[in-house]
Homo-oligomer: A and B are copies of this chain.
Amino acid sequence: MTILMENGDGADAVAKGGMDVEVSLGDLRKQLDDFAKARGWEQFHSPRNLLLALVGEVGELSEIFQWKGEVPRGLPDWNVSEKEHLGEELSDVLLYLVRLSHMCGVDLGRAALSKIEKNAIKYPVGRDYSRAAAAASSKWSK
């Protein structure tokens, strides 16, 4: 199974339907729960253990980008093994995030929809965000 698209540009690929396996957060949560139960891993899955495992995977994700300088969207110059490696690290972060949410009793899907609604109110359409983006990088403006 490939995780790559013929066309490296994300936005175009969506228009082309290149990215539409429907994978739900609930499916992933259930698969990870079965996976852990089958291997006796629940004993290791305390919230802070999973959080540190997530931080570890974010570190591996960062290592992929660390010496590259800025890279264009769709990563047109990356080779197949680099993109597969990237897909695996992005997945590792997602899977620990889904598992952490589950072990904390948080419904991640509902929380995400709720956060998008909240942000739609916080950041109304039509405002000039060029300065806001700069400000967002300063703690004091929060």
**A binding-site residues for B, Cβ under 8 Å:** 1-5, 7-11, 13-14, 18-26, 28-33, 35, 38-42, 44-49, 51-75, 81-83, 85-88, 90-95, 97, 100-120, 123, 125, 127, 129, 133-134, 136-140
Complex CA gap A18/B29 in Å reads 13
- Take A59-B56, A116-B35, A137-B64 as given contacts and tell me if A21 and B90 are in contact as well, using a CB distance cutoff of 8 Å: no
Give the copy number: 4
Complex CA gap A35/B102 in Å reads 27
Distance between A105 CB and nearest chain B CB, rounded to angstroms: 4
Question: Does the CB pair A4–B140 fall under 8 Å?
Answer: no
Question: Does the CB pair B60–A58 fall under 8 Å?
Answer: no
For A106, give its contact among B1, B26, B30, B87 (CB under 8 Å). B87
- Take A46-B69, A87-B106, A105-B13 as given contacts and tell me if A3 and B52 are in contact as well, using a CB distance cutoff of 8 Å: no
- Take A25-B23, A51-B61 as given contacts and tell me if A10 and B103 are in contact as well, using a CB distance cutoff of 8 Å: yes
DSSP majority for the A interface? helix
Distance between A86 CB and nearest chain B CB, rounded to angstroms: 6
Distance between A67 CB and nearest chain B CB, rounded to angstroms: 5
Distance between A127 CB and nearest chain B CB, rounded to angstroms: 8
